[in-house]
Every structure is written in C-alpha cells, then in structure tokens.
Chain A
Amino acid sequence: MTDEKDIKFAEVLESLKDVPGPVMMAMQKAQDIYGYLPLEVQLKIADFFGVPLATVYGIATFYSQFRLEQPGQIKIAVCLGTACYVKGSGGVIDKFGRMLGVEPGHTTADGRFTLEATRCIGCCGLAPVLTVNGEVYGKVTEDSVDEILAKYNNI
C-alpha cells in the first residue's frame, strides 16, 4: 500500500464528511483506490465516520462487489445470469475452474487469475458472456476457454 493511495483516500474521506449516509460510498471509493478492502482501510473508514468496525465489515460482506482479498492480475468473470445459464455458461465456468484449478470466487496460487461468477451484466444478446479485465467476450463456448487462457497466459 503506497502513501499516494493513502493521501488520495484521505481526500475522499474529507469530501464525504457532510454527505448523509456516507459509509458505503467511502467503501466503494476505497475499493477503487486500493483494489480491495484490507482491514486497515476498513478501520480507517470506521474511525473517520465514528461507526463500529463491525458495521463496515457487515456492509463489506453483505454486498458481492466488495473484496476482502487482493484480486489476481487477470480477472475472469463469467456471467451466470439466466440468459447465459440456459445457453451453457455453467459449463464454461466449470471448464475455467478445471483448467485453472480454482473454484469461482478465488485466485490462483500464483496470484495471476481470479475466477468469478457474476450476476447478469446485461448483454444477454451475446450470451453466454464473460469478461476478462473488463473486456467482453460474447457467444463463448467451452472451446473458447482454451483460446482465452492461451491469450492471457502469453502476457
């Protein structure tokens, strides 16, 4: 964690001082800055707004977007929304799991890949859909898994 991030985050906290109901906004901004919510950052938020740490932790674990662990360099998110599921995204995420040796929601031991199952990302016309670091791949099949992994393994 660098000082630069801490300075930026201190500014964010200051800017939310007079906003009603600021805790979740602060956590979202914190995750933008740090990539996840380490315990020290949660403590900072709790201290700043005068709420118990349990409240911050409770919010962090309630919402699926908050991460408590550092994510991998390459984030593969397979949509398991209904439209994608009925078109076979379940098989796609299973194959990623087999190839990478991780369960959805976890990061490979070398810290390279994080595999995630996401909720509907709303491009159902392209189902089944997945994103790799935000880049969208549509109409994927189990065969595309090999191609996608090959592409990112070479980076």
Chain B
Amino acid sequence: MKTLQQLQEIRDRLKATIDERQEGAAVTPGLPRMYILVCGGTGCTSGNSKIIYDNFVSRLKEKGLENEVKIIMTGCFGLCSKGPIAVVYPDGSFYTHVQPDDVTEIVEKHIVGGQPVERLLHAEKDIHGQLKSINDTDFYRSQRRVVLRNCGVIDPENIDEYLATDGYKAYEKAVTQMTPQQVIDEIKKSGLRGRGGAGFSTGMKWQFTHDAPGTEKYVACNADEGDPGAFMDRSLLEGDPHAVIEAMMIAGYAVGAEHGVIYVRAEYPIAVHRLEVAIAQAREYGILGDNVMGQGKKFDLELRLGAGAFVCGEETALLNSAEGKRGEPRQRPPFPAIKGLFGKPTLINNVETYGNITQIILNGADWFASVGTEKSKGTKVFALGGKLENVGLVEIPMGTPLRTIVEDIGGGCPNGKKFKAAQTGGPSGGCIPASLIDTPIDYDNLMAIGSMMGSGGLIVMDEDNCMVDIAKFFLEFTVDESCGKCTPCRIGNKRLLEMLDKVTKGEATLEDLDKMEELCYYIKDNSLCGLGQTAPNPVLSTLRYFRDEYEAHCDGKCPAGVCKALVSFKVDKEKCIGCTLCARNCPVGAISATEEKASNGRPIHVIDPKKCIKCGVCISKCPKGAIYK
C-alpha cells in the first residue's frame, strides 16, 4: 500500500529517466547515459525480439555496462513491417529488421564506440542528404500520439515507469478535486466519442450509467478486438496497460461502480499477460482494492477471456459471454447502462476510448477538443495493413485526409502498383475508392461515403485485388460469425453470400445485382444487433463504387484476375523456352509438352484447362513470365 505522497516520490524520482528517452535529451548525472528500447509488441515478438532483448542484457553485462545503459522492453513503435525494432537514446538511432546476431555489433560499435550501425538504421534523408530525425520521417511526421503516448516509451510491465509519466495522477485529481458529475461533464465537454466503431458520445454513456438506479454497478472494457486486420487495442494493452486500468478507475468513480471487468480476446496472449501483471502490481500498491490510494473508495478489476467469436465485440453479446454464456446479443432496450452485466447497470467502453480518459482529466476538455474536426474530436489510432510499404500502427488527428495516411505515412502501394481502395471498419465497414482519397477521416465523413470509422482497421488494396472477391471475403466472415439468433442475419446473409458466389463464378445477371442490393437493405433494417445491421456494408459500398467490376463479372470477366472460375491460365508460345519448370511443379500434372518447338529447340508447353486448378504455381515458377491469365 502506497500513500499519495509515496506515489509522488516515485514519479519525481523516475521522471528524468523517461524524459531522457527522446532524441537529443541531456543526460542527468547519476542516471543511465543511454537507453536501448526494444519493441515487445506482438509483431516484433514474433520476429524474436525477446531473444534480441536477452542478447542485449547479456552483452551489456559482459561489457560491465549494465548500470550505464538501461535496456527496456516496450510496447509497439508502430512501424511493424520494419520490425523487429530497437531504438537507442539519446541519439535517437532507429534500428529496423534487427536480428539476434546484430546485437553484438550494435553494442560494440554504437554503445561502446559511439558510432551507429548504419546498415540497420531506418534511414530517410532530407533534400540536403542529411539523415532525418525519426520524428521527421514520413511515417511519424503526420502522427500525433495521445493514446499511444507511452507505447514504445515505457516498460509496460513496470508500474513505476507508468507512474513516472504522471500515471494515476488523473485518478488522484478526479477523486480529490472533482465530483463524479464534474468528471462526467468534463468528458462530455471534450466531445470524446466511442472508439469501438459506432461513435456514440462517451460522456452521455457515462451519464446514463451514473443516473441508472441501483447501488451495484459495473464498468466494463471491451477488448474483444475481432475485426480482421485490426490491432489497435491489442497494442495499447500491450504497451500501456495501466492507462486503461486508470481510466476504468476514473469511470468507476464517475458512475459509482466498484467492480470492473476487462473482456479480452484469448488470441492476444501477450496483452492478457501484461494486464495480469499490471493488475497485480496495482493491487500491491493499493491502487486497486478496498481503499484505493487511501481515498476510501473501493475498486477492483477482473479479466474475462473470450473464446473466438466476433459477435462478442457487440456490447450485449459481450455481456452474455462475460457471464459465461453463448455470446448472443440481447434485445435493446434495456441498454447496458440500465441492465447490463449480471443484470446490473454497466458502462461499456472500448480500450482506445479509455486510452483518452486520463489525458482529458489531466489536460482538460478544451485541450482535447482543440484537435480534430467539428464533430469528431481528438485523435484516432489506425492499424494500417494490406498493400502498403509501411504496415503498422498509427495515430492521427481526426480530419487527416486519407491520402496522408496512404501515401505519406503508409508510403503508398509497393512495387509501383496503383491504389484501388481502402477498407475501413472491417466486416462492418466499406471500401473507399481512389476517387475519394482526399476525404478527411472522421466519423461523419466516413458514414456519408458508405463506410464507417469502425475500430480502426485500415486495409489498402491495389489493382491486383478484386473488389467482388473482397466483398465475398467479408461476407463469408460475417456468415461464419453470425450467432444465428435472428433470421435476417442468419438466413439473409447466407442468401446474399450465395448471390455473391454466383457473381464470382460469372453466373449472375444484372438483375441479380439489383436483387442483391435490395436484400442488403432488408438485412440492414431488420437485424437485431450491430453485426447483422452492418454486415451488408462491404457489399453495398463495393456495389456503389465498383459496380463496373460486378458488371464485368456478369459478363464472365474478372478484371483483376482473382476469381478462379473466370480466369484461365495460358502459355505464351513466344516466351516459352521449354525449361519444364512449370510442368515439374504443377501439383495436378496439367502441363505437358507439345510438338511445337521454341527457338532453342525445346518443346513449347501447354496447360490443359480441364485439369488446371488455377493455383498459380506455374506463374510463380516460370523464369520468363510466359504464363498469363
């Protein structure tokens, strides 16, 4: 148990060590002269960053530098496609694609010798040929980190490091200087809207739960990030778990709840582990428990793990699942604010929403509202994925044009391919075509163009992607994940998928497209929960912006050459050199030699369309690019 004063002493003692983790920071005597931050997010961990960390620890020890140089395993830096990442301060050297064997060289040359290892640096040069500071690179320049402020800076498994970033100070301020209503008013005034997708006013949600009758209430955190291609919440939980815990404590104080539940996906083992560590540390410090920070309030948290069901991201389904039942949605009203977990009034917010709370309390609603557009305040975290040079995690002010995200931060499509569309909102969202790339990203703009903010997955597609195939991919996902409770979603989406399947096989007519559209609106209007109500969005938005591709399919052509039923593989006789690589690699023996000879005298090959399964192995093996579809 620590008193407020003891917590403050920890902050004061360690603040300088956090401040030193930035480029060009002055070194305080008595503190480490250098910091090595190794990314411990899921992406980099998959690339062996744990071994890299261990190697740094042992190399530094061998050199007797363990007190001079501090090594920290942090949360995600964001630039996942260049991982594993390690950053050295105070000089700010940003190492990418680091391998465990590179550690010795970095220690010898850089830490001991003072010369960065150039071949590993993320090197972007300015017009004068000078190496840019990492904050000025294309990937980081347009970003603004509010929610992710501590990711890639602090050690998420050490509560002292969080304290040193004014951690648990927002809760202290709320409890000692504000009434619960004042806290709610501040959140309302900030204009913060739910980051889980729908964009409902967070302050209003808090107000409803606060006003609900009843003495026993719950605060819940929706960490069931099920959208394929989205990993914002996971990264925040992995990089800064205490920020979410503190926000839930503030919410508990504001709405009058003593219990908190974090419902987190079981697919995120690192996030679960870090939350467990953080909760245990917070209990040890008396930050969670019967007398929170000695202020006479009670608040504690428990984790509930999901088991792989997308629908559980819907708040009422989440409540059922957290109660240990099948995750089927409930009829609303009554809303969770009135009747939620175990029938008690429950506040449910998404991870990223909570990630904003401490900063609003500490810096004020006006500070928060100064960023963003008229109706969408603050920043938004996006998980960039798909056909982009820089895949990773980014946080941008609301109102940033899509073009900035795709071209500047994301670095555009690789291999000079043309940008075709960006998909936001996962299976509930829609595709934004290249013609709308200058749209400023906020809740209302995205809704107006037939997509939605969603939780923040942003997947880029290039000219090689077939939009009908993408729509089918998302619909297959929703059909698979539909809980089956209500008929429009269970059967309607299934029928819609069958119609889409017909399109991809070239068997649909133009009338079928109109029928599909009608069915989409029927499903949207009549489904019980958000999953069904938004499931047709990928179909509707692609029909709206890429109707020509649908019509081409009706004509028996797939312009991108993706839909297998509509493509056939052929050998270009002019290019074939008879090397037999294709025939040897064909898994079904569909390729054979003909009587015809190539200019080198070897037999030209041919593909038997009856045997061909269109797997594409021949295309990838052909050294001359002689096979086309």
Are the C-beta atoms of A124 and B46 separated by less than 8 Å?
Answer: no
Please judge, given known A-B contacts A24-B325, A62-B483, whether A125 and B229 are in contact too, CB under 8 Å: no
B386 in complex: contacting residue of A66, A86, A118, A121, CB < 8 Å: A86
List, in ascending order, chain A residues with CB within 8 A of B325's CB: 21, 23-24, 55, 59
Are the C-beta atoms of B46 and A81 separated by less than 8 Å?
Answer: no
List, in ascending order, chain B residues with CB within 8 A of A124's CB: 43, 80, 229, 231, 383, 385, 391
Are the C-beta atoms of A122 and B307 separated by less than 8 Å?
Answer: no
Closest to B48 in A: A136
Q: How far is the CA of A125 from the CA of B234 in the complex (A)?
A: 14
Name A's B-contacting residues (CB within 8 A).
Answer: 20-25, 27-28, 55, 58-59, 62-66, 80-83, 85-87, 91, 94-95, 98, 118-127, 129, 136, 138, 141-143
A-B pairs with beta carbons under 8 Å apart, 5 shown: A25-B324, A62-B483, A121-B42, A141-B620, A142-B620
Q: How far is the CA of A86 from the CA of B616 in the complex (A)?
A: 15
Are the C-beta atoms of B459 and A28 separated by less than 8 Å?
Answer: no
Q: How far is the CB of A65 from chain B (nearest CB, A)?
A: 4
List, in ascending order, chain B residues with CB within 8 A of A64's CB: 307-309
List, in ascending order, chain B residues with CB within 8 A of A126's CB: 43, 46-47, 80-81, 83
The reply on B342 being an interface residue by CB < 8 A is: yes
Residues facing A in B386-445 (CB within 8 A) are 386-387, 391-392, 423, 426
Q: How far is the CA of A91 from the CA of B616 in the complex (A)?
A: 9
Interface string of B596-629 (1 = CB under 8 A from A): 0000000000000000000111001000000000
List, in ascending order, chain A residues with CB within 8 A of B304's CB: 25
Are the C-beta atoms of A82 and B615 separated by less than 8 Å?
Answer: no
Please judge, given known A-B contacts A82-B459, A94-B615, A126-B43, whether A24 and B307 are in contact too, CB under 8 Å: yes
Q: How far is the CA of A82 from the CA of B469 in the complex (A)?
A: 12
The reply on B310 being an interface residue by CB < 8 A is: yes
Name B's A-contacting residues (CB within 8 A).
Answer: 42-43, 46-47, 79-83, 225-231, 234, 266-268, 304-310, 321-328, 342, 383, 385-387, 391-392, 423, 426, 457, 459, 461, 465, 470, 473-474, 483, 587, 615-617, 620
Are the C-beta atoms of A136 and B324 separated by less than 8 Å?
Answer: no
Are the C-beta atoms of A85 and B309 separated by less than 8 Å?
Answer: no
Residue of A24, A66, A98 with highest tally of chain B CB at under 10 A: A24
Q: How far is the CA of A127 from the CA of B80 in the complex (A)?
A: 10
List, in ascending order, chain A residues with CB within 8 A of B327's CB: 62-63
Are the C-beta atoms of B267 and A119 separated by less than 8 Å?
Answer: yes
Residue of B231, B234, B323, B615 with highest tally of chain A CB at under 10 A: B231
11 new A-B contacts, CB < 8 A, other than A82-B229, A120-B227, A124-B385, are A24-B325, A64-B309, A66-B307, A82-B386, A83-B385, A126-B46, A126-B83, A142-B615, A142-B617, A142-B620, A143-B620
B267 in complex: contacting residue of A24, A58, A122, CB < 8 Å: A122
